[in-house]
Amino acid sequence: MLLNNKVAIVTGGGSGIGEATSERFAREGAAVVIADLRMRKAEAVAAGINETGGHAIAVEVDVSEPQSVAALIDTTVDRMGRLDVLFSNAGTLRPGTVVELDVDDWDLVMGVNVRSVYLGGKYAIPVMLETGGGSIINTASISGLHGDGGAVSYAASKAAVINLTRAMSTDHAAEGIRVNAICPGTIETPPVQRMMADPAALAANLKAHSIGRLGRPEEIANAAVWLASDESSFVTGEAIVVDGGLRAQSPLGRLADPRPEHLR
């Protein structure tokens, strides 16, 4: 019970990584607020947690709007009494190069992926300080660590999340607030599953991950629950990569045959 007696908010909690993390947080003893723009999905996740003996509520939120995020924090305190963990996980993607991408799509991605992290911290940190501190976890991406083709807004937004995480951690560490990011590789969420319906895309992604498969939402939840818990009490300002060996693997592949010449 790594999160016993803690209260956690998970944005984008209605599906994918958010759903898996909400369920894992609940199994570890946390009361969980499932925050999502899609209320039907959030309610379904909350109902599943409650049916298995956990404690969860669903709250509708637009993570890019200040009033909506402030209301989410207020509702959490009103219903749960406190706030210990914020998992800012909601995100979106719009494909395109800088030439192709519509300005409105750029603004949408930046709002959902970056402004949401700023707003989450802005309204959650003062509440966390009332009970001695807390943990904020932001979903970044390996796309924030290198340049992906045809996804300029997503790559830029996730790079911003990583450095925003570092800056927030620096500002608030002495107050007992830890702030970290998780950088997933390709994870089998519903949008990715749709993309992987293309056999060529699936083959390329499998080859890119040295483990030889895509990641599962539960594997990101495992990292999130550790960062939320006191077991990571000396960890802040980090962007933890969970990518099945994608970044470790050179695109050049094997440069030389390691076997002695007489065995080749």
pLDDT score recorded for residue 4: 97
pLDDT score recorded for residue 2: 97
The pLDDT tens digits for 5-22 are: 999 999 999 999 999 999
Report whether pLDDT(106) > 70.
Answer: yes
Report whether pLDDT(154) > 60.
Answer: yes
Q: Could you say which of 154, 162, 209, 221 is catalytic?
A: 154
Report whether pLDDT(264) > 60.
Answer: no
pTM for this predicted structure: 0.93
- What band does 204 get if pLDDT is binned at 50, 70 and 90? confident
Average pLDDT over residues 194-209: 83
The pLDDT tens digits for 88-100 are: 999 999 999 999 9
pLDDT score recorded for residue 247: 87
Give dist(CA 226, CA 224) in Å, integer: 5
- What band does 200 get if pLDDT is binned at 50, 70 and 90? confident
Is 123 marked active-site? Answer: no
- What band does 194 get if pLDDT is binned at 50, 70 and 90? confident
Whether 11 and 89 have beta carbons less than 8 Å apart is answered as yes
pLDDT score recorded for residue 261: 63
Average pLDDT over residues 133-137: 98
pLDDT score recorded for residue 202: 83
DSSP 81-148: S---EEEE-------B-TTTS-HHHHHHHHIIIIIHHHHHHHHHHHHHHTTT-EEEEEE--GGGTS--
- What band does 210 get if pLDDT is binned at 50, 70 and 90? confident
More confident position, 192 or 12: 12
Name residue, tokens 């990715």.
192
CATH code, 7-244 = 3.40.50.720
The pLDDT tens digits for 54-72 are: 999 999 999 999 999 999 9
For residue 242, the 8-state DSSP code is: E
The answer to which of 37-51, 61-75, 162-176, 190-204 has the lowest mean pLDDT is 190-204
Report whether pLDDT(232) > 70.
Answer: yes
- What band does 170 get if pLDDT is binned at 50, 70 and 90? very high
Residue 166 is encoded by which pair of tokens?
């570092």
Which sequence spans correspond to the domains of the chain?
Answer: 7-244
Whether 21 and 89 have beta carbons less than 8 Å apart is answered as yes
Average pLDDT over residues 138-144: 96
Q: Partners of 187 in the beta sheet?
A: 215
Average pLDDT over residues 176-184: 98
